[in-house]
Structure 1
């Protein structure tokens, strides 16, 4: 895997979309085979480059240190949406400082999750937004499997 295949900006930020899915292989096939995306990473998380963006997919799981009290689940009701915006930045510390100074309320400061540094905040309606900076992922270090999967 090459750096230019990953959602990891060298400056500024780019937007990806994270989906909590019940079956990673099924979802990966949908976005890659049916919609024509390119599989960049098979799992943990699954990353599919689609057009000028990326879809990131993982199964649900319980709270993590950077999103305490938050559990991710795939949609149980097709009339209800279950996803969050995932912003990738080149310098998460600077982003955290700048956005905090502007009034953003993060759940935690950026935390090291091996493959990346990440933290979460909520928009005014309460939607969860992940802000992440690829770190270990760039040298092949992947995140731990999602909670409850192994």
Structure 2
């Protein structure tokens, strides 16, 4: 069990953490700890992994509860349609990419140089999309070109 200091519980103000509905808590917990170098601060009910200055909270899905009536939590059903994703910034894309691949992460592409940043995407065990980027030109005022329209 984690000490209070390791849990996402601010002493003042607020902090932001991200909740994921997962199929298998142990598999997802291990993915975020291994691929992102996270520290498991709670094993389950819910699982919490601290990654840098953020926390990923994971629990299985389920139906409505008194505090969220009419809402059912479930894992992604269609990987081709995404309305939100986790955005991770790294200091060294090449090192992170090699580390993640060595731990079994599967990326959609290798890192792409977009002038403003190096960027690539991977999926977690439940299919959640994760963007990983390293600001390069952006720190010098270089912005990425607008995306070409989908055909």
TM-score by length of 2: 0.53
Give structure 1 regions of 4+ aligned residues with deviation exceeding 2 angstroms: 79-84
Alpha-carbon distance change, 19 to 4 in structure 1, aligned in 2, over 3 angstroms? same
Q: Report whether the alignment pairs 1:2 with 2:10.
A: no
Name the larger-Rg structure.
2
The alpha carbon displacement at 1:80 in A equals: 3.2
Task: Determine helix, strand or coil for the equivalent of 1:25.
Answer: helix
Task: Determine helix, strand or coil for the equivalent of 1:79.
Answer: coil
Could you list the per-position Cα deviations for residues 3-55 of structure 1 after superposition, in whole angstroms to 9, with x for gaps in the alignment? 11000001110000000111111100100012110000000000000011000
Higher strand share: 1
Alpha-carbon distance change, 11 to 53 in structure 1, aligned in 2, over 3 angstroms? same
Alpha-carbon distance change, 26 to 62 in structure 1, aligned in 2, over 3 angstroms? same
Gaps of 5+ in 2: 86-151
Aligned to 2:49: 48
The alpha carbon displacement at 1:82 in A equals: 7.3
TM-score by length of 1: 0.53
Task: Determine helix, strand or coil for the equivalent of 1:62.
Answer: coil
Greater relative contact order structure (CA < 8 Å, 6+ sep): 1
User: Would you say the 8 A contact 1:20–1:82 is kept in 2?
Assistant: no
CA RMSD in angstroms, aligned pairs only: 2.0
Aligned to 2:68: 67
User: Would you say the 8 A contact 1:22–1:74 is kept in 2?
Assistant: yes
Aligned length: 85
